[in-house]
């Protein structure tokens, strides 16, 4: 970049500053991507999120903006900016002008087209290693470029996700279409007509890097809303339910789904875990139905899965469930189509999303919620926070809230998709959690997982960074790059005007009546694990019921199904699962028994005896909740 082009790239910013009465909130500045990074507090000016701001400025005005960083640190600029009566606009104008001068000087010395090392040293040769003579050994300590390139390659990958490793992401916007949301929540993201920037990551639960997309699996549907009050993460799936209620079972589920000690995936381990966890029967039935293999991510729904809460300005709470309905229709693949596509185009789901957005076919989803009052929750015949069950749409109808549209694909998969971090614990004022046991476990587990993957400063990555100021007393940690709190106090309370909590953001108490000692409570006894699965089975059309039977029987009897090819499932495990499905529906039990070639009566006896023995062991040291649901 020439010296003249540097000044030219900065001139629109300087002109915008001159045309505005103040820096903060200036419309001319906003067109160049400037957020308000300065706020006043007495006579002090605090720079907030300066590093992220400079990234956006750089995108807006080109490489010359690097000089602004130098200018902000320049003593002359600081001296001029500290004079009494100097407006914020004038201060930034002086900074930009000084930056242009510095950039002109720098541009005369450095040509950015010349390849450099990470430290900025120009390279003269990137094709030949340094050796002691033509046939001699390499001089590794002298060849900094050789070392640097290999060191960078060896460290290009962060710790992968244990589940949901492979996925695709896109940026977009969420627009509210419901003008009556204020009666449920004071969250600003739901103000009538408001648009909010969002990011979504779609993924396969058991998908490893390099995995085929078109396998039978649950899909992740993780959303990040960049609201003015912070990031709100809604980390859901394409299924409205899950396998179990208690988070203590989550590691065991993951182990049964992923590779075994031999390094192989196995239907034996999956069916063994599912059969010995009868509450999973609803989710398993869904998984082996048509929606178990969507045609692509664009043709599936998304769900928040858990019950959450909304709080309005009067601090009144309601329980809600989130639904995201695809506007591209629902389309699925059969097992045979999924297997065929796996061989022809294993990355089809990712490619389909990327190509659709780049061609202007922006995928859309409608957001709906179901709403349940606290009084209705108390009167419900089953636990409304049981994630293995759904809420009746007849009793709790869907309410349209808004629309999600995705219109931009990340330029760097690694930066924005691989390093994206979602956590259900990330909420904003007006939204809250629920007593859902599995949700309670996820509130801790997801943040802990991303702290392990990315470090405690992973929130500074562009895709994870809130679009609002951050005021905390957290300090240090690897790769801290946001100023680290500067010279301000690093503890609270303090006497130096640091940020303080505001009681107006306190949530109302969650209505939980807790009695009894702290111990392990058996939370499965008396719960009906089959009524909702039966309702789903009866909703399936006859041809889908046939496919469900065929898919389950093939995976157990032959050990083959889209995504996994393993040894057949032992007869004992088949019998236990047959017992569970026969309890869902008699017709389902008879048809599955015939497909497996098993005698239903003897299988029922084996399954009942096995599970009774298991329950006896599992509940020996627990307090039983003896109040049945229905």
Which positions are annotated as active-site residues?
164, 237
- Residue 208: DSSP 8-state: P
CA distance 283 to 389: 9
Give the pairing of strands 302-303 and 317-326.
antiparallel
Please measure the distance between the N-terminal and C-terminal CA atoms of the chain and give it in whole angstroms: 74
CA distance 440 to 307: 11
Block residue for tokens 């001139």:
11
Q: Which of 409, 442, 406, 449 is nearest to 424 (CA)?
A: 442
Q: Which two tokens stand for residue 600?
A: 């239903």
Q: With contact defined as beta carbons under 8 Å apart, do 14 and 97 qualify?
A: yes
Block residue for tokens 């389950």:
552
Q: Which two tokens stand for residue 240?
A: 């409205």
CA distance 204 to 457: 26
Q: CB neighbours of 556 closer than 8 A, spacing ≥ 6?
A: 267, 271, 568, 569, 573, 574, 577, 596
How many CB atoms are closer than 10 A to CB 137?
8
Give the pairing of strands 230-237 and 219-227.
antiparallel
DSSP string for 15-51? HHHHTSS-STT-HHHHTTT----EEEETTEEEE-SHH
Q: Is 536 left (phi over 0), alpha (psi -120 to 50) or beta?
A: alpha
3-state secondary structure of 273: helix
Q: Which two tokens stand for residue 311?
A: 């709080």
CA distance 210 to 220: 17
Q: With contact defined as beta carbons under 8 Å apart, do 254 and 242 qualify?
A: no
Q: 94 vs 6, 39, 81, 84, 90, CA distance in Å? A: 16, 18, 8, 15, 6
CA distance 197 to 390: 29
The DSSP element (H or E) to which 552 belongs, if any, is: helix 542-557
DSSP string for 556-607? HHTSEETTEE-PPPPHHHHHHHHHHHHHH-HHHHHHHHHHHT--HHHHHHHH
The DSSP element (H or E) to which 439 belongs, if any, is: helix 437-454
For helices 586-596 and 571-584, angle between their N-to-C axes, nearest 10 degrees: 160
What are the beta bridge partners of residue 403? 175, 366
Q: Which two tokens stand for residue 621?
A: 């040291």
What are the beta bridge partners of residue 432? 309
Q: Which two tokens stand for residue 556?
A: 């157990």
């Amino acid at each position: 970049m020439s010296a003249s082009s540097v000044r030219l790239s900065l001139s629109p910013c300087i002109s915008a500053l001159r045309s505005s009465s103040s820096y903060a909130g200036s419309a001319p500045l906003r067109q160049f991507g400037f957020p308000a990074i300065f706020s006043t507090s007495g006579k002090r000016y605090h720079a907030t999120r300066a590093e992220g701001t400079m990234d956006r400025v750089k995108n807006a005005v080109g490489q010359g903006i690097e000089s602004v960083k130098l200018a902000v640190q320049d003593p002359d600029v600081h001296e001029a900016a500290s004079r009494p009566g100097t407006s914020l606009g004038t201060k930034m104008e002086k900074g930009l002008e000084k930056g242009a001068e510095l950039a002109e000087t720098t541009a005369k010395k450095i040509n950015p087209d010349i390849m450099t090392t990470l430290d900025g040293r120009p390279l003269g040769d990137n094709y030949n290693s340094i050796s002691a003579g033509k046939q001699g050994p390499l001089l590794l300590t002298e060849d900094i470029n050789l070392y640097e390139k290999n060191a960078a390659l060896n460290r290009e990958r962060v710790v992968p996700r244990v589940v949901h490793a492979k996925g695709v992401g896109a940026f977009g916007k969420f627009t509210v279409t419901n003008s009556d949301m204020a009666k449920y929540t004071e969250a600003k993201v739901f103000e009538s007509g408001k648009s909010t920037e969002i990011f979504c990551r779609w993924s396969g639960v058991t998908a490893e890097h390099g995995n085929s997309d078109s396998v039978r699996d649950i899909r992740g549907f993780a959303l990040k809303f960049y609201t003015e009050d912070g990031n709100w993460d809604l980390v859901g799936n394409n299924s409205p339910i899950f396998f179990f209620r208690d988070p203590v079972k989550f590691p065991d589920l993951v182990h049964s789904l992923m590779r075994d000690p031999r390094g192989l995936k196995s239907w034996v381990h999956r069916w063994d875990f599912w059969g010995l966890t009868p509450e999973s029967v609803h989710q398993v039935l869904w998984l082996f139905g048509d929606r178990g293999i969507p045609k692509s991510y664009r043709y599936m729904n998304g769900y928040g899965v858990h019950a959450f809460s909304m709080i309005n300005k009067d601090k009144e709470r309601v329980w809600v469930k989130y639904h995201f309905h695809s506007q591209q229709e629902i389309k699925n693949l059969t097992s045979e189509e999924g297997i065929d596509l796996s061989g022809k185009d294993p990355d089809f789901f990712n490619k389909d999303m990327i190509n659709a957005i780049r061609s202007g076919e922006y995928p859309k989803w409608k957001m709906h919620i179901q709403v349940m009052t606290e009084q209705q929750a108390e009167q419900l015949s089953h636990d409304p926070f049981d994630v293995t069950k759904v809420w009746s749409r007849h009793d709790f109808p869907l309410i349209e809230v808004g629309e999600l549209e995705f219109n931009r694909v990340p330029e760097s998969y690694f930066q924005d998709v691989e390093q994206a971090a979602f956590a259900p614990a990330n909420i904003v004022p007006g939204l809250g959690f629920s007593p859902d046991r599995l949700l309670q476990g996820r509130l801790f587990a997801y943040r802990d997982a991303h702290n392990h993957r990315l470090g405690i400063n992973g929130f500074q990555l562009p895709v994870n960074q809130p679009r609002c100021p951050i005021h905390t007393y957290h300090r240090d940690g690897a790769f801290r790059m946001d100023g680290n709190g500067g010279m301000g106090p690093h503890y609270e309370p303090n006497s130096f005007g640091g940020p303080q909590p505001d009681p107006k953001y306190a949530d109302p108490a969650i209505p939980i009546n807790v009695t009894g000692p702290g111990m392990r409570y058996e939370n499965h006894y008396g719960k009906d694990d089959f009524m909702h699965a039966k309702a789903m089975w009866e909703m399936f059309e006859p041809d889908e019921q046939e496919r469900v039977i065929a898919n389950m029987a093939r995976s157990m009897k032959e050990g083959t199904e889209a995504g996994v090819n393993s040894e057949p499932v032992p007869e004992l495990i088949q019998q236990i699962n047959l017992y569970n499905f026969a309890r869902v529906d008699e017709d389902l039990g008879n048809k599955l028994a015939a497909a497996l070639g098993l005698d239903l009566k003897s299988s029922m006896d084996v399954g009942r005896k096995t599970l009774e023995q298991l329950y006896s062991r599992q509940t020996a040291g627990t307090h039983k909740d003896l109040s049945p649901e229905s």
